[in-house]
Amino acid sequence: MSDRPDFRLEGFEPADADADYAEQRFWSGDLTVLAEHHTSFNGTHSFVVAHDGSVTWGVPGEPQMAAIKVTRDLSLNTFTFEAEYHATVSFAQNWLIERGCPPEEIAQVGEDFMRPADDLTIRVEQQIRTSGDRYKVLDSETTDYDPCETWTLTRDSNAALVPIRLFLEEGDFDTHTYTLREGAFADEGAARRWLDERDSPLPLPPEHRDEVAALRTRAALTRSAGTAALPEAGLDAHRMPPVGTTQRPNPGRSM
């Protein structure tokens, strides 16, 4: 996988003015490909998740992850673009999966990017990727300074209790990894107060509490056996250990 976008448009013309504008925008933008899938070398569709570095020069906090779908009409030799910006890779992947990309083909990001710090991060990302239209995004924010974090505030249509779900991603430059955690709130106001104050741990969704308790028990048993303890940081903490001040473009992954 190249870190530069290849939309495979040689020999194709824009189908309309919107496609022409999108092609110019994305070719001139500072895109770094994180994940991509093409239906075949001469296929009808391309799906791309990319970090758009040009966003960092715009309004602070805006989402930087571009989810891009290209459709090629092989009979007319024309193409169209669909695109939407998201705060994290997993939400961008979800958008593409909902538009026909096979989940397994867009799930993996390149090896040069930051890696998930633990199994819980992997599980939460998979949950988002395959959630369909379960989460309605209400707001998001991306910060590139220390501490480097991204959050996405959503409404969970599957949750009868505490339906406001906050997905918080935090990066660690020292280990080149990131964590992703899900918090649950009764209403949007409570979630925003927590974001402003950060005076308590991120409240876990009810369905995750048994899982976290099991992880703590396993860690305690491992310690009692005299082996290295399993990492527990971040399971219910709202903040990772301090990281360096080096800036990264926040898709949460590219370095």
Residue 233 clears pLDDT 60, i.e. is over it: no
pLDDT tens string 62-92 = 999 999 999 999 999 999 999 999 999 999 9
The chain-wide mean pLDDT, for the chain, equals 85
CB environment 65-96: b (16+ within 10 A), e (fewer): bbbbbbbbeeeeebbbbbbebbbbbbbbbbbb
Least confident among 24-28, 57-61, 67-71, 218-222: 218-222
pTM of the model: 0.80
Residue 35 clears pLDDT 50, i.e. is over it: yes
pLDDT tens string 165-208 = 999 999 988 888 999 999 999 999 999 999 999 999 999 999 87
Provide the pLDDT confidence category of residue 227 given band limits of 50, 70 and 90.
low
Please tell me the predicted confidence (pLDDT) of residue 6.
86
CA 69, CA 242: separation in Å to the nearest integer?
37
pLDDT tens string 102-117 = 999 999 898 778 899 9
CA 252, CA 185: separation in Å to the nearest integer?
24
CA 177, CA 118: separation in Å to the nearest integer?
9
Least confident among 33-37, 62-66, 129-133, 248-252: 248-252
